[in-house]
Amino acid sequence: MSTDCVTAALQDNVYELAVLMKRHDIGFVPIVEGSKLIGVVTDRDLVVRGYAEKHSGSTDVATVMTREVKTISPEATADEAARIMANNKIRRLAIVEDGHLIGIVAIGDLAVRDIFVHEAGEALSEISEQGADTGQLSHH
């Protein structure tokens, strides 16, 4: 789990999020009010909901943000995290306690622990297969 999360707020715009992603070499930014998680923006969100819809860089974050975010509690096991990722075809999961963001777990975090290599590999395989089925590019 990463606890030093790069985050943004509703007052930020699409361009500022793109710059954050470039600067930190990330493709996922939680959107918070204080420390309360209210959504996330992925690099794909910027493209699909932002630029492909002809929104400018000054467009507000709320326009491209995913509001219904899958989360997990800090007490959850790595196995539970892998299962949620596989079932929802996602690569990152916000760790939230009482509505507040405390960290992010990525599929790669699970894969580095030998005991969870199978679960993480299975989740990644399902995500990649889903991308292939829909003609979408998958990331490895």
Q: Which is the CATH superfamily of the domain at 1-68?
A: CBS-domain (3.10.580.10)
The predicted-structure confidence for 78-126, as pLDDT tens digits, reads as follows: 889 988 998 998 889 999 999 999 999 988 887 665 545 555 566 666 6
136: pLDDT strictly greater than 50: no
φ, ψ for residue 42, nearest 5 deg: -105, 165
Angstrom distance (rounded) from CA 7 to CA 40: 9
**For the stretch 128-137, what's the b/e string if a residue is b when 16 or more beta carbons lie within 10 angstroms of its beta carbon?**
beeeeeeeee
Average pLDDT for residues 14-35, to the nearest whole number? 94
42-46, 55-59, 118-122: which range is least confident on average? 118-122
CATH class of 70-140: alpha beta
Q: Read off the pLDDT band of 135 (50, 70, 90).
A: very low
Instruction: Judge if 1-68 and 70-140 fold alike in CATH terms.
Output: yes
> Would you list the domain boundaries of the chain?
1-68, 70-140
d(CA 13, CA 11): 7
Residues 115-124: tens digit of each pLDDT? 455 555 666 6
Distance CA 27, CA 17 (A): 10
Give the rounded percent of residues in the chain with a pLDDT score beyond 90: 54
